[in-house]
Structure 1
Amino acid sequence: MLDDAFRDGWGWWVIALAVGVPVLLVVLTELINGLRRRNNPLAGPLRLLRNGVIPVGALFALLAFAIQSPADQVWTRVAATIFGFLVILLLLSAFNVALFANAAEDSWRKRIPTIFVEIARLVLVALGLALLFSWVWDADVGGLFTALGVGSIVIGLALQNAVGGVISGLLLLFEQPFKIGDFLDAAGVRGRVIEVNWRAVHIDTGSGIQIVPNSSLSGASFTNLSEPEGPYSASTDVKFATDDPPHEVMALLVEVADALPMLADRERASVSYAGGGAYSVSIPVAGPADAGRALSTYLSWLWYAARRHGFALDGDSTDPISEPGRLAEALTAIGGTLHLHDDDLEAMLQSSHLERYGVGEVVLPSGVVPDEVRVVVSGRALLAVEVDGGRVEFATAERGDIIGQTALTRERTQAVTVAGEILTVVVLPLATVDELIRTRPRLAAEIGESLELKRKLAGDMISSIEGTRGSLRQGRSVSPR
């Protein structure tokens, strides 16, 4: 009987399956473990090969070749069907790994929506199963394909509007003209994209969520404000009187824009003059999200700056603080700070003037030698040291406090002074303050004490920041044992 087994060939099949299958499974297991440690996507198809294709293939080979069960037996056909189905899945999995798993981020393969891949996989599985049933079970699948084709046409005609929106969405997902977080200007809708699905794009306009159908976007032009990468230009048009010197106005427009905290790093604003007192300002900001806030702050600061320089923004250069009697009231309010006498008022009215600053405006930058002294009449100013592109506050200046004492010692300022509120100050020329100090020793002592206090506060703040940096560097340099 043993001789008959080897003579007929099925004995060799039994030995080959008994020895070869375990060895192959062990080799595949080691290979899969190595690929998994390297996060290689090829481990997936090999796992399917080890866990499904080889065991079922061995069973089919045992039934068909070793035991030599007739091919028309049910169990042989069942094993052949399962084996064929697993082979189809293995081929599709390997194809997916080869084509999509290692695709570059900017390649067309990476941009293909997952739904396209899933639909193609489903179609290929259906075709493979149809051919498999035709070969193994001698099934007639031609009628099934015809019925599916007719049914697809009927369903497509009935749902053409809905399907059109879905197809438009899939095409948008494939092309990817924008991504989540980009700012769009589409058909009058302007805002940030927060969701993209098959049917519509959800845009956060700041006052609600606008849902724009994909069919509308695919059939019309729109602007992606977040592309190309780099600073986004927030633009606005302003108008001055034709009597205002254009170059001086342009210098003021750039100066105010460059002081904005929203300005992009290492960028400067630009201004063009169109004639007739019309100017166009372009402010580079990090992105469209900062544009509205930057323009709002810019235009409010520009109103105060234009009045301080005597320029007629929008044809008007008047400022309520220039009304008669306002300067006299302010000098009376700060008279105690400057030790003014009654007979000093007339001279002070001739040499001084009032200025106002909007919230956040720089009143006095750091690193400059002031040529004027300012005394706070109303509002509050913040004194801060500039560190790593930011500001750290260490003191305030309120009513009666002096800003710019280093003008008297001809030293550069260590701190930047910023308006914390709408700030009104009396501006005194250096010569006027020098004369006051010469005749009022007590004023000189008070200014000296105030200047020394601010120096100490600024120095303490800088030392504290440097100490914190040193501690962080030391902590990073010590490696754990």
Structure 2
Amino acid sequence: MNSFTSQPWFWPALGVIVGLPLALLLLNELHALLARRGSSYAKPVALLRNWVLPACAVYLLVAQLEQADVQATWSKIAATAFGFLIMLLLLSGANAALFGAARAGSWRERLPGIFIDMGRLVLIILGVGLLLSWVWGANIGGLIAAVGVTSIVIGLAVQTAVGPVIAGLLLLFEQPFRIGDWLDTSPAKGRVVEVNWRAAHIDTGNGIQIVPNAMLATGSFTNLSRAQGAAYQASATLAFGPDDPPGAVGAALMSVATGLPTRLGSLPAKVVALGEAKYKVSVPIASPADESRTKALLLHRAWYAAQRAGLHLDEASPDAETAKTYVESQLQRVAAGLGLGEDAVAAMAAHARQLLYAEGEIIQPVNSIPEAVGFITAGSVGLLVYAEDGRELSLGSIGVGDYIGGTSLTRQRMITGVVALTDTTIVSVPRDAMNAVVQNNARLARQIGEVIEMRRKGATDALAEAAAGVR
């Protein structure tokens, strides 16, 4: 073996047979990375890969002919070039036949590119060896043995580093996730933006987390984008007081979940009692990207819904005495603005309630019949109506000192809806109590009627303009 390796052509030939394919493999990966990032260095790397390195290899091989004991004739050189071209043609044809028209989801489509490159590397080594043997009559047995021994030594030396890489490559072959999928892993949770033979790049919203493929291959993770149901479910668990009626809790939470803007309109939300006064709310959403916002809105609005329903979310107890004092003080201000006396204030305050709404909550749906008149004491609300094509049309906003639900007195259906533009507080006076006040005050009855007609006209004009615009 020593006499064989001492030949002057041995190490240059070994460098070409082993080093050239490895260098081409690394440059191919580098070029792909630079191309994905739009780097200006991609073109020089491609030039180095396609022309400079192959030309250098050819020079090294031809230079050895001057020291070899074989006669380098033009026919042998031509046969070598022809054989090399045939080898490239066969490799290109095999690549086109096996992977050019691979069906989506098949093993050929899932096979990582690095496996294909490694296969080409082995075939190139065998092809060059056969050319040396057939054309130049070289004894390649010793060279193959030397390459085999060298591979074993290198493999043993780098097995700790190569093992995780192989595990990562097997993970890519299985393809449990793709670019654009949302993963929940131990080091990070986010959307996959890039996958290569070494690592997956996950956009967490606060930067890119680099997670080695080996870690994903040897650990467990959840692909949030491959939900088995009709949609991805954003879930949250809420705890109420043990004395809160389950029916009332379920109705309040269902109302909140149904009104969330991120919910898929065609799919229903779910509320499940878990026991021990805990309830799980599941909301169907379009993507895991909406999960964080959905849960934040759900928890935010659930507190307001619990306050309105007199429930004890997280065992918090609504302060009835404070609410009563607030209602009485605010109705004094309302009565002063409407020119009402103390008797009217007492009649309204006896049945009035303080209602809290979160920003974005629907206070009164379109085409509903209100059961009470609501006086806005904090925040602001928006009036809206829906066109025939489903578009939401804004009719403006009203704030502190205004009221909604005047049609409760006439028992008419509202063609407008009311939504909270900010966190809003409303003092709600039931229909019967308000009727008793209006019957004794003709001026207030006329004023409420004028407001009803004005808002109805505004809604009708907006719908007419929308219909005209569509035509």
The alignment's TM-score, normalised by the length of structure 2, stands at 0.79
Structure 1 partner of 2:150? 151
The CA deviation at 1:361 is 1.2
1:386–1:142 Cα change, 3 Å: farther
Alpha-carbon distance in 2 for matches of 1:219, 1:398: 58
SS at match of 2:409: helix
Moved more, 448-457 or 353-362: 448-457
Aligned residues: 399
**Which residue is equivalent to 1:452?**
453
- The answer to whether the Cα contact below 8 Å between 1:321 and 1:354 also exists between their aligned partners in 2 is no
Contact map agreement 2:383 2:394 (CA 8 A) in 1: yes
CA drift at 1:386 = 3.5
The aligned counterpart of 1:303 is 303
**Offset at 1:321?**
8.3
Classify 1:75/1:466 alpha carbon distance in 2 versus 1 (closer, same or farther; 3 Å).
Answer: farther
- Cα 1:148–1:247 shift into 2, 3 Å: same
Secondary structure in 2 matching 1:273: strand
Distance 1:319 1:288, change over 3 A: farther
Question: CA deviation digits over 1:361-383, x for unaligned, max 9?
Answer: 11111121112111111100112
Unaligned runs of 5+ in 1: 1-71, 471-481
Structure 2 unaligned regions, length at least 5: 1-70
Q: How does 1:95-244 map to 2 (within 5 A)?
A: 95-187=94-186, 189-228=188-227, 230-244=230-244
Alignment deviations for residues 84-137 of structure 1 (CA, whole Å, 9 cap, x no partner) = 222222222222222211111111111111121122123212212221221112
Residue 178 of structure 2: SS of its match in structure 1? coil
Residue 411 (1) aligns with residue 451 (2):
no
| Secondary structure in 2 matching 1:329 | helix
1:141 deviation in Å? 2.1
| Cα deviation digits, residues 173-192 of structure 1 (max 9, x gap) | 21111122222222253332
Matches of residues 253-292 of structure 1 in structure 2 within 5 Å?
Answer: 253-292=253-292
**TM-aligned CA deviation for residue 398 of structure 1:** 0.6
> SS state of the match for residue 325, structure 1?
helix
Larger Rg: 1
Tell me by how many angstroms 1:304 deviates: 0.9
Counterparts of 1:309-328 in structure 2, within 5 Å, are 309-319=309-319, 322-328=322-328
* Residues 242-292 of structure 1: per-residue CA shift (max 9 Å, x gap): 222212221222121111111123111212223332222222222222122
Q: What do residues 406-427 of structure 1 show as CA deviations (whole Å, max 9, x unaligned)?
A: 2233222223211111101111
Determine the structure 2 residue equivalent to 1:362: 362
Is the aligned partner of 1:89 residue 2:114?
no
Q: Which residue of 1 aligns with 2:462?
A: 461
- Note if contact 1:169-1:197 (Cα within 8 Å) is conserved in structure 2: no
The AA in structure 1 aligned to 2:134 is W
Residues 40-86 of structure 1 deviation map (CA, whole Å, 9 limit, x = unaligned): xxxxxxxxxxxxxxxxxxxxxxxxxxxxxxxx872222222222222
Distance 1:415 1:324, change over 3 A: closer
CA gap of 1:254–1:123, structure 2 versus 1, over 3 A, is: same
Q: 1:336: Cα distance to partner?
A: 4.4
Contact preservation (8 Å) 2:380, 2:399 = yes
Q: Are the equivalent residues in 2 in contact too, given 1:339–1:440 (CA < 8 A)?
A: no
Moved more, 86-95 or 362-371: 86-95
RMSD: 2.3
Correspondence for 2:37: none
The answer (yes or no) to whether the contact 1:333–1:377 under 8 Å persists in 2 is no
